[in-house]
Amino acid sequence: MSSTTRTAAALDSLPLAPGALPVAGHLLPLLRDPLSFMTAPAGYGELVRIRLGPRTMVVICSPDLALRALRDDRTFDKIGGIFDQTRSVLGDGLSNCPHHLHRRQRRLLQPTFHRFRMPGYAQTMTGLIDETTRTWQDGQVLDVLPETRALGSRVLAACMFPEAALMSTQMTRLTDAFDAVLRGVLRKVLLPAWATNLPLLANRRFQRAVDHLRQTAQTAVEHRRSNDRDHGDLLSAMLAARDEETPGGAQTALTETELIDNVVTFVIAGTDTSAISLAWALYLLAQHPDVADHLRTEVDTVLGGRPARYDDLPRLPFTGDVINEALRCYPPAWITTRTTAVDTHLGGHQLPQGTVLGFCVPLLQRHPGQFPDHPERFDPDRRSAQPAPPRPATPCSPSAAAPANASATSSPAASSPSPWPPSPAAGDWSSCPTTPRPYPPDQAC
């Protein structure tokens, strides 16, 4: 009996999600509409089996169990599942590496996000948000997601490696490359390895995009090494990092491969997630004018017409609630996996070594146990009305769900559109949706 078959047999006592076909299992509905399929098992139990061809995945439907598993990364490790498949893109970067590599990288990369660096990043962001939103015209129909994606890649580039060479032509190609990579990753995760290695156009395109992304990261690292001063950006912080816990006190730095893996990781992890969150937030504000008015009042009162700074954030609590509630309702990084490194148990069930667990973030974040009052409803006020739930059991993948089009429409009384961070300098407009379907299937995976 193969280890896949043994693991599958040991999980037979768990309920099986309905609709499995004899050989393909649940692959077809999963490929057709992954988000709908993955949010359905909530009604069947705390742990539910799904079948991906010969492979089995256990979907965790309980936020408590998800939290327990995510906190124990020695037992529920980033091996197998999504992580083996994304290794060709992200290498062993921080978001992708297994437990035994994680702590050292985490120590080395933590200073990249040190509090003293935040005001600089925030200033870069508000400047670029201003530049983008100034071009938005009253009455113009905009496809919001490409706008926020372009903004997201410019922000990331400016915070990461702002050299002119990378900002212009390279960035356009880079954006195209990681768009292609993002689209290819879920297919790679769901399909067996042999299918994603066939010399098909889609597979070749994916590999070309991966090569381009990694090559660009390498060029950025080499370029910066030749000019070694601290530019106040993410890449300088990565190059300067030294591990003080290296045995023997040698204070090792990130290796060349770790640097490239983490540049790619930050680009992939930081761009689409932010762009999609912002697009959803704009879409939800367009659907909830009362929330938009409240937000606008807070921003105008606190900022009085000037651009936001990092130290303004604590005085913008409702703005924070809007962003957090949008992230709860429509989390951009909506699925991840862990694999059991040893035989273990969860929720009273035995899980043999090698069991792949799936975490579907929308399913967990709309759990009625956590959000009893209409969990599906966008309601930023619920955050001040009820105690904060435990830190979200949100897993991550570079895949996404996002709204499609929204349009800027006339709003004579409006003073600020307030994307995140709030930026009052842009023109007079508010957004309204032009589509009733906020989940275009191609953005859902």
According to CB under 6 A, which residues from 297 to 316 bind ligand HEM? none
Q: Does 364 bind ligand HEM (CB under 6 A)?
A: no
Residue pointed to by tokens 């709003």: 411
Answer whether 268's CB lies under 8 Å from 210's CB: no
Asked if residue 185 binds ligand HEM (CB under 6 A), the reply is no
Contact between 266 and ligand HEM (CB under 6 A)? yes
User: Terminus-to-terminus CA distance in the chain, angstroms?
Assistant: 34
Q: How far apart are CA 32 and CA 288, in angstroms?
A: 30
Is 365 within 8 Å of 392 (Cβ atoms)? yes
Mask for 322-361, x = binds ligand HEM (CB under 6 A): -----x----xx--x-------------------------
The smaller minimum CB distance to ligand HEM, of residues 69 and 292, is found at 69
- DSSP, residue by residue, 70-103: HH-TTTEES-SHHHHHHHHHHTT-TTT--HHHHH
Q: Binding residue for ligand HEM (CB under 6 A) from 6, 74, 106, 204?
A: 106
Q: How far apart are CA 49 and CA 443, in angstroms?
A: 25
Shortest approach of ligand HEM to residue 427 CB, angstroms?
25
94 binds ligand HEM (CB under 6 A): yes
Region binding ligand HEM by CB under 6 A among candidate stretches 53-61, 216-224, 243-251, 271-279: 271-279
Contacts of 206 (CB under 8 A, 6+ apart): 180, 181, 184, 187, 188, 196
* 57 in Cβ contact with 49 (< 8 Å): yes
Binding residue (CB under 6 A) for ligand HEM from 7, 124, 170, 274: 274
304, with CB counted inside 10 A (0-12, 13-18, 19+), is exposed
User: Which one among 396, 406, 426, 445 touches ligand HEM, defined by CB under 6 A?
Assistant: 396
Among 62, 75, 95, 236, binds ligand HEM (CB under 6 A): 95
Per-residue contact track with ligand HEM, 128 to 167, x per CB under 6 A? ----------------------------------------
Q: Which residue of 170, 216, 277, 416 would you call a contact of ligand HEM, by CB under 6 A?
A: 277
Site string for ligand HEM, 204-243 (x = CB under 6 A): ----------------------------------------
Q: Which two tokens stand for residue 332?
A: 């951009």
Cβ proximity to ligand HEM: between 7 and 365 the closer is 365
With CB under 6 A as the contact rule, the residue among 132, 394, 418, 431 that binds ligand HEM is 394
Nearer to ligand HEM by Cβ, of 307 and 395: the residue is 395
Quick one: angle between helices 201-225 and 256-287, nearest 10?
110
Residues binding ligand HEM: number (CB under 6 A):
17
Whats the size of the chain, residue-wise? 445
Using CB atoms within 10 Å of the CB of residue 231, give its burial: 0 to 12 exposed, 13 to 18 middle, 19+ buried: middle
Backbone phi, psi, residue 26, to 5°: -100, 15
Q: Could you say whether residue 124 binds ligand HEM (CB under 6 A)?
A: no
Binding of ligand HEM by 370 (CB under 6 A): no
Nearer to ligand HEM, 291 or 402 (CB): 402
Phi and psi angles of residue 81, each rounded to the nearest 5 degrees, phi first: 45, -135
207 versus 224: smaller Cβ distance to ligand HEM = 224
Q: By the 8 A CB rule, do 319 and 420 touch?
A: yes
| Amino acid found at 3 | S
Asked if 270 is part of the footprint of ligand HEM (rule: CB under 6 A), the reply reads: yes
Site residues (CB under 6 A) for ligand HEM?
94-95, 106, 265-266, 269-270, 273-274, 277, 327, 332-333, 336, 394-396
